[in-house]
Amino acid sequence: MPEALGRHQMVRVAPAAWRTLLMRRPEYDGLPYVADWAERNWPLVVRRPAGGEAGIPLGLPLPPAQGKRRLSFVLEASALRAIAPPPRLAEAAPAAPPEWQPTLRRLLDLDPEARTFGGLAWQHLTGLSYLSPTSDIDLLWRLDGAPEALLAGLSTIASEAPMRIDGECLGANGMAVHWRELAEGMPEILAKDARGVSLVARSDFLAGAGC
């Protein structure tokens, strides 16, 4: 995988390359939205590679009305025409339900640079319906020199929010830790990156958080 691509990165595929790819994937024939996904300029998301995959592993989650299917693809770098991080929460917030809005404003006050992935991101990016009354919100925060203040703020907001707040704190070398696990203060925590999952010392993760 190119060094610039990591988990949650959004990529847009050249329509010609997308059509060629789908010709090799007849099992996806007839699925809603898939045939013209690239023509609509909708992105795919970088996922963790499975064993033996050669190329860039990408995912496409269909809306819940289509069974919440998660389609998997592998493409060469030459097929990609744009790469971007997941959208900022501030950009995606208007696509969220009205009852979420007060909580989203509090989250943005806490960290205006927070980003979102999951259902809210896909609803914002495609205009399709990905959220339901029981949906969670998935967020990304890049830690700075005061991670404990962020974690304390998240704990307070989450205790009063109408939806579950999930998400990851991003630290050094592309590693990510679920914010709740980090907030619990355990000496060792599970960290994810593009290659897999590993157990790391919480102090080590926080020491390199701003890298």
Residue-wise pLDDT for 62-92, tens only, equals: 999 988 899 999 999 999 999 999 999 999 9
Q: Which residue has the higher pLDDT, 194 or 54?
A: 54
Per annotation, catalytic residue among 29, 36, 111, 136: 136
Work out the pLDDT band at 208, boundaries 50, 70, 90. Answer: confident
Q: What is the mean pLDDT of the chain?
A: 92
The whole-number pLDDT of residue 153 equals 97
Per annotation, catalytic residue among 36, 138, 144, 193: 138
Inform me whether the pLDDT recorded for 211 exceeds 50: no
Work out the pLDDT band at 4, boundaries 50, 70, 90. Answer: low
Residue-wise pLDDT for 162-186, tens only, equals: 999 999 999 867 789 999 999 999 9
Write out the H or E segment, with its range, that includes residue 81.
strand 80-84
Residue-wise pLDDT for 100-147, tens only, equals: 999 999 999 999 999 999 999 999 999 999 999 999 999 999 987 778
145: exposed, middle or buried (C-beta count within 10 Å: 0-12, 13-18, 19+)?
exposed
Annotated active-site residue 138? The verdict is yes
Tokens 């990591």 belong to 6
Residue-wise pLDDT for 35-46, tens only, equals: 999 999 999 999
The whole-number pLDDT of residue 209 equals 64
| CB neighbourhood size of 97 (10 A) | 15
- Report helix, strand or coil for 119: helix
The angle subtended at Cα 137 by Cα 171 and Cα 165, nearest 5°, is: 70
Annotated active-site residue 193? The verdict is no
Instruction: State which amino acid sits at residue 137.
Output: I
- Report helix, strand or coil for 65: helix
The whole-number pLDDT of residue 136 equals 97
